[in-house]
């Protein structure tokens, strides 16, 4: 077996992870991270997981949102998506976060949600959650990796288990090859530059698989 064969060797097939509960938690202003969240849901369901797609609470004033057509359209488009709560985090075995970058950090809406989970953290209910993250920006080096790492720093404090995609499948290279989590560039037209759908679905399936190992005690 060559080195590339070893690198991309598929893990031993397991039974469908029908007992893994996954929360896909996103914040989206222009619709990109909502789209990533839906692809993650699709991949996770293909892996047999029970999935909740959830948005974080919007903090921006309505007057500001109304002045931005893309932002307003996203708010309207996601109006029926439930707002994530502590109960959802407690329910989940695994969590995938998706958010845009803000000066190399996660958006304040996502940070505010994490900062309000002190009760769960203090009671040990964030320990051993399997987590993974995705991000977007308007240029290829706009802080996507730093944003994902900023979220992972919080996850280390949670006692969570990070399931980064690494280089576990060739589809990751077509999406830009970010080993920390799928990231995408959004052009001035609001469309994604890279083709990341398959990478997102792979990341979701990997997250579900790792969560299954943790939950079921497999090695």
Give the pLDDT confidence of 93-149 residue by residue, as tens digits. Answer: 999 999 999 999 999 999 999 999 999 999 999 999 999 999 998 888 878 999 999
User: Using an 8 Å Cβ cutoff, are 26 and 151 in contact?
Assistant: no
Burial of 115 (0-12, 13-18, 19+ CB in 10 A): exposed
What average pLDDT does the segment 56-75 reach?
Answer: 89
Give the pLDDT confidence of 129-138 residue by residue, as tens digits. Answer: 999 999 998 8
* Distance, CA of 195 to CA of 60 (rounded, Å): 30
The model scores a pTM over 0.75: yes
* Choice among 148-162, 187-201, 202-216 with the minimum mean pLDDT: 187-201
Domains and CATH numbers, the chain: 3-214 (3.40.50.360)
- The DSSP-derived string for 162-206 is E---TT-STHHHHTT--SSS-EEEB-TTS-BSS--HHHHHHHHHH
Q: What is the pLDDT at residue 69?
A: 86
Question: What band does 192 get if pLDDT is binned at 50, 70 and 90?
Answer: confident
Query: 52 phi and psi, to 5 degrees?
Result: -120, 125
């Amino acid at each position: 077996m060559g080195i590339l064969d070893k690198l991309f060797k598929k893990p031993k097939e397991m039974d469908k992870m029908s007992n893994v509960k996954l929360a896909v938690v996103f914040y989206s202003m222009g619709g990109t991270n909502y789209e990533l969240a839906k692809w993650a849901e699709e991949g996770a369901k293909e892996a047999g997981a029970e999935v909740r797609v959830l948005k974080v609470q919007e903090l921006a004033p309505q007057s500001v949102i109304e002045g931005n057509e893309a932002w307003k359209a996203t708010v309207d488009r996601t109006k029926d998506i439930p707002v994530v709560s502590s109960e959802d985090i407690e329910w989940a075995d695994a969590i995938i976060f998706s958010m845009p970058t803000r000066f190399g950090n996660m958006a304040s809406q996502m940070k505010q949600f994490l900062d309000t989970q002190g009760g769960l953290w203090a009671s040990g209910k964030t320990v051993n959650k399997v987590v993974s993250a995705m991000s977007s920006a308007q240029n290829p080096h706009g802080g996507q990796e730093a944003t994902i790492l900023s979220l992972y720093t919080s996850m280390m404090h949670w006692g969570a288990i990070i399931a980064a995609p690494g280089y576990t499948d060739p589809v990751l290279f077509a999406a830009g090859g970010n080993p920390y989590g799928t990231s995408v560039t959004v052009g001035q037209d609001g469309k994604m530059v890279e083709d990341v759908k398959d990478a997102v679905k792979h990341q979701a399936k990997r997250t579900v698989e790792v969560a299954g190992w943790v939950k079921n005690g497999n090695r």
